[in-house]
Structure 1
Amino acid sequence: MTDRFEPDGASATMMAVVTEAQGGFEQLRYRKVRRPLPKDGEVLVHVLAAGVNNTDINTRVGWYASTVTASTGESLEPAGDGPPEAGGWQGATPFPMIQGTDCAGRIAGLGAGVDPGLLGRRVLVRPCMRVNGFHDPATRWLAADFDGAFAQFVAVPASEAFVVDCDWTDAELASLPCAYGTSENMLHRARVGAGEVVLVTGASGGVGSATVQLARRRGAKVIAIASRSKHDDLRSIGAERLLDRADDPAEVLGAESVDVVIDNVAGQGFPTLLKALRRGGRYVSSGAIAGPIVSLDMRDLYLKDLTLIGTTAWDEPVFPNLIGYIERREIRPLVAATYPLADIAKAQKDFLEKRHVGKLVLIPPPAGQA
């Protein structure tokens, strides 16, 4: 059988970045591969832009393995001795594969049973797919469980391609799906409402800057934590108060001073975040870029009636909400830089430097070009 990444004379081809195996940047190969064909109920999306995310790097290096205890920036190789198949979100990552969790594009082909009116429409792809419906937390993720958007074309279920009508650029649209979906899901699960005080860690990153905007959109008062050089940018998108990364939130703000903590940093700073929460407060997370192993004083948890919320599977309203926010101009994208798809290694290295505010986005070559 011909490998899906080996072009043959009978199939149309495309350019893509194939991640050959778990490992470093050397595993990223920009090459010609077979173009996917949409199956029944699927659409073929011509990828116009694809965002860079932590999860693409983490999956490549096997960071999700339980043996890994380092932060996402400490090493480009997995720590510990776990087998490669343990390093994916839900077990084995199907290498070789095309990664790329964020996808903005146009519908270029239709499988059987798909509305022909979708052809040519600009869409965002929902990367978190609830395979058994929204009553079941089981998920299937673009670029973690099947081929993603670091390519000229990608095939996805028609139900996961959301038409969007706006004047944003393709790069701006591609800055949204993973970061803003993750953020909206955390805010939705934590039931953040108007007038609440929300503390956002890692606020200059893709998820963090999305959370600043989306929490403000809900009427919350946002306190953002980031390096001082990024404070002006965060203030411009709605942060009312800024803390430096070296600050102790409980000491600077006072104990029991915030209603909700949105934290994708974790690491050594985790304990003081719980001390900053008010009685009955909520802590919600979908990541741990500063390290997955934390210290928890159980007395902070139970004596203060705190709720700790972990989020990965997105709830049903999340992605439709985002499309509405875009079309009603209630949020705005933050694109720090764009790169040709062929320069993915440079884009990911720049991403790991954490000097930017917002998102880095990859642009595939036009269809028919290498």
Structure 2
Amino acid sequence: MQNVTTGRLIVVIMRAVTYDSYANDNSRLKAGDVAEPKLGPSQVLIEVRAAGVNPVDWKIMTGGLDAMMDAVFPVIPGWDVAGVVRALGPDTPEFAPGDEVMAYARKDVVHAGTFAEYVAVAAASVARKPAALDWHQAGGLPLAGMTAQRCLDRLEVGPGDVLLVYGASGGVGSFAVQIGRERGARVIGTASERNHDYLRQLGAEPVAYGEGELDRIRDAAPDGVTAVADFVGGQLDTTLAVLAGNGRHVSVTDNSVEEHGGHWIWVRPDGAKLAELAALAARGALTVEVAETFPLEKAGEAFDASRAGHTRGKLVIVP
């Protein structure tokens, strides 16, 4: 970070990743100098130590959410952050400079994200980082962890449930497995066979996805499953075939589930709910696997890895 004087105006400069228009590839992504974000009332300025990469980040860059959210270019991508509080906006008594925190930092407008040295975040979205998580793990937890949490909240998963998780070894799915087990459910998770041992370590019963998947799920749960969390998409027919009579189902990718009694889930920024995940991590009930880290200059490589869809665990930007 540096100060640049222009006339009487002093502009504080930081490094960040930006893109200046929508694109279907990484051609508009660049790392460079931008102005540090303004700090409004009830906001905290976080020095970013780690920022999780999520599929929504590159999907936004393609214009995929333009019908829902306005974008102000240049856009700094990123909705996950872990870092240190450096300054407070007016009337922000919850935190102090030096606090180690994390947040799901989605805002109403796509503009000033977390792939940067600093980000301003509403205090209501921020939670304290548990000592049990290092910076990379904390940076990868918020969006994916809270998505899994919200799905299982909506499903009202508890003891006696048989929970089916599609994409169980992925960023969101692995959290759903752990939260489901913590809530007393039996968890069945779909994944490639190379990730089956990993799922067993998390407490799930693995089922190979692909041809024959329906039969394998029926073999694992002959009486049907009571709850389904779809983190893959395109699974509705299988879900309806294996769901018990009183079953519930949600999807984060397929809004057509609402036509069949399911719920389409979008997670909300919520510091109090994130603090619940932090408490699970603090007592060892929730772990975060980090697959790879990238500097700002290699954000495009992180997007490519995310697009490929074969990563186990989280991808993380480290400014």
Paired residue secondary structure (1:114): coil
Could you say which residue in structure 2 is the equivalent of 1:350? 305
Could you say which residue in structure 2 is the equivalent of 1:35? 36
Could you say which residue in structure 1 is the equivalent of 2:228? 261
Could you say which residue in structure 1 is the equivalent of 2:156? 191
What is the rounded CA distance, in whole Å, between the counterparts of 2:88 and 2:280 in structure 1? Answer: 27
Could you say which residue in structure 2 is the equivalent of 1:72? none
The letter of the residue matching 1:312 is W
Could you say which residue in structure 1 is the equivalent of 2:12? 12
The letter of the residue matching 1:264 is F
1:326 to 259, 278, 281: 281
Q: How far 1:61 moved relative to its partner? A: 0.8
Q: How far 1:252 moved relative to its partner? A: 2.1
Q: Does 1:251 align with 2:229?
A: no
Could you say which residue in structure 2 is the equivalent of 1:211? 176
Q: Does 1:274 align with 2:240?
A: yes
Q: Which stretches of structure 1, 4 residues or longer, exceed 4 Å deviation after superposition?
A: none
Q: How far 1:121 moved relative to its partner? A: 0.4
Paired residue secondary structure (1:118): coil
Paired residue secondary structure (2:121): strand
C-alpha deviations, 1:206-241, integer Å up to 9, x for none?
Answer: 1111111111111111111111111111211111x2
Q: How far 1:278 moved relative to its partner? A: 0.2
Count of matched residue positions in the alignment of Structure 1 and Structure 2: 308
Could you say which residue in structure 2 is the equivalent of 1:169? 134
Structure 1 contact 46–107 (Cα < 8 Å) conserved: yes
Could you say which residue in structure 2 is the equivalent of 1:308? 262
> Mean Cα displacement is larger for which, 246-255 or 95-104?
246-255
Unaligned runs of 5+ in 1: 1-6, 65-84, 129-139, 302-306, 365-370
What is the rounded CA distance, in whole Å, between the counterparts of 1:331 and 1:121 in structure 2? Answer: 22
In the superposition, the TM-score normalised over structure 1's length comes to 0.78
Unaligned runs of 5+ in 2: none
Paired residue secondary structure (1:208): helix
What is the rounded CA distance, in whole Å, between the counterparts of 1:334 and 1:145 in structure 2? Answer: 27
Computed over aligned residues only, the root mean square deviation of the Cα atoms, in angstroms, reads 2.2
Q: How far 1:315 moved relative to its partner? A: 8.7
Q: Percent identity of the aligned residues?
A: 31
**More strand as a share of residues:** 2
Q: How far 1:253 moved relative to its partner? A: 2.9
Q: How far 1:99 moved relative to its partner? A: 1.1
**Compared with structure 1, are the counterparts of its residues 13 and 355 closer, same or farther at alpha carbon in structure 2 (3 Å cutoff)?**
same
What is the rounded CA distance, in whole Å, between the counterparts of 1:185 and 1:200 in structure 2? Answer: 14
C-alpha deviations, 1:287-342, integer Å up to 9, x for none?
Answer: 24xxx778x9x8xx5xxxxx411211439663232122122222111111111121
Structure 1 contact 22–95 (Cα < 8 Å) conserved: no
What is the rounded CA distance, in whole Å, between the counterparts of 2:238 and 2:42 in structure 1? Answer: 48
Q: Does 1:153 align with 2:118?
A: yes
